[in-house]
Amino acid sequence: MEGERKIIIVNWKWKIFQDRHINADALSKEEFHEFSVDIDKGKGIFFDEYAVEPSYLCPDALLVATSIYNEGPQTKTLLYALIDKYTKDGNQVMIFLHRSNFFEDPDLQELMDRYKSRIAKCFLFAFGRDYIYYSTQRSGFLNDTGGFFRGRDLISKEKVLTFDPVKQQVMQPFFDRVWQYYQTEFEIKILNLKESVFDCFLPLMLPDSPMQFSRHQLFEALKDKEGEGLLFRIKSFLGKYDLLDQIKDFEKKYALEEELRVISKLEKEHRESYVFDDCILNLEHEEQNGKHLVKEVYDQTKEQLDRLLFKTAKKNFKKQDLHQLSASMEELIKVVPGEID
């Protein structure tokens, strides 16, 4: 793995393609077919490649920029043709899909089902709140408007150049940081969630606390981290936002969408991604890639957490249930690929 070429494909609102964004009407049926069959013909038209300044971690990395909007089978075929180009032996590919290009969880699922182990990770990103943007953690390379960040750092006022227009290459350490972060992002997300959850539940787990507790007590405890949208983050971890039918569950969906809006707002404020939609899909993707353990532990953790907070009619639980949940989450963090073993 270490020797593989690292490639990041960013499907975004790239300004370089601002008059050539691919939507359902951008090309004729014949053109879609032509480009899908021979994707190289589209280079410079709707996608481009940028070299990356060599580093120890990424000596020969590549950034692929494209602007394809998810507007039906033809656009998706074209996107797949582009991904096909890079998912070859010897390449390690991460894909970033812009939510505003009309990509959602099911699209991510479809993509991972299709490519299985041929892609390393796949993410949804948007609204300047993800790590890939420079401004969130002053680490990524994208700006907010369809290009590479260039200008003064907002805090330090130092000059920042994430892309060298003369050499036409993405600058380091920005590419490395993005690669590293996203490689372990799920682990970090789950770790952060665990720490927040057990900060709240800790008083119920202490030796001198009662042996039993109620669900109500759990919810009361979670209120401590309301400012961090903790309950909504848990629901996202449990996939509560992904399961409802658009028409049948209209009213429930509306309320849940409200909650998602709160999370988005917090993400922007805290400059941190909280939503687990792409994370869960990637965990399931691990299973498809033969790493059954990750999926098993995730399912086990999800089951325990869901049982405590939502699932069963039972409203009283044992202290031991919380310890069990803690252990499961700990295990999940260990089995999810990342730095913590």
CB distance 164 to 204 below 8 Å: no
Pick the closer one to another protein by CB: 196 or 301. 196
Other Cβ atoms within 10 Å of 265 Cβ, number: 12
What tokens does 136 get? 């969130």
Of residues 68-127, those binding another protein (CB under 8 A):
127
User: What is the C-alpha to C-alpha distance for residues 17 and 39, in angstroms, rounded to an integer?
Assistant: 16
Q: How many residues interact with another protein (rule CB under 8 A)? A: 28
Give whichever of 51 and 262 is closer to another protein, judged by the CB atom: 262
CB atoms within 10 A of CB 140: 24
**87: helix, coil or strand?**
coil
Q: Which is nearer to another protein, 164 or 287 (CB)?
A: 164
d(CA 13, CA 11): 7
Eight-class DSSP state of 265:
H
Residue 151 binds another protein (CB under 8 A): yes
In the complex, minimum distance from the CB of residue 154 to another protein, in angstroms, rounded to a whole number:
6
C-alpha dihedral sign at 107, 126, 101, 39: negative
Subset of 244-283 contacting another protein (CB under 8 A): 250, 260-262, 264-265, 268-269
Stretch that binds another protein, among 74-82, 89-97, 133-141, 174-182 (CB under 8 A): 133-141
Backbone φ and ψ for 185, nearest 5 degrees, come out as -60, -40
In 3D space, the residue among 31, 9, 14 whose CA is nearest the CA of residue 75 turns out to be 31
Q: Is 229 among the residues that bind another protein (CB under 8 A)?
A: no
CB of 161 to another protein, least distance (A): 7
Mapping DSSP to helix (H, G, I), strand (E, B) and coil, where does residue 279 land?
helix
Residue from 91, 135, 289, 324 that binds another protein (CB under 8 A)? Answer: 135
| Using rule CB under 8 A, residue 317 touches another protein | no
**What is the nearest approach in angstroms of another protein to the Cβ of residue 160?**
9
Residue 262 C-beta: closest distance to another protein, Å? 8
* Binding positions for another protein, rule: CB under 8 A: 15, 18, 127-128, 133-135, 143-147, 149-152, 154, 159, 161, 226, 250, 260-262, 264-265, 268-269
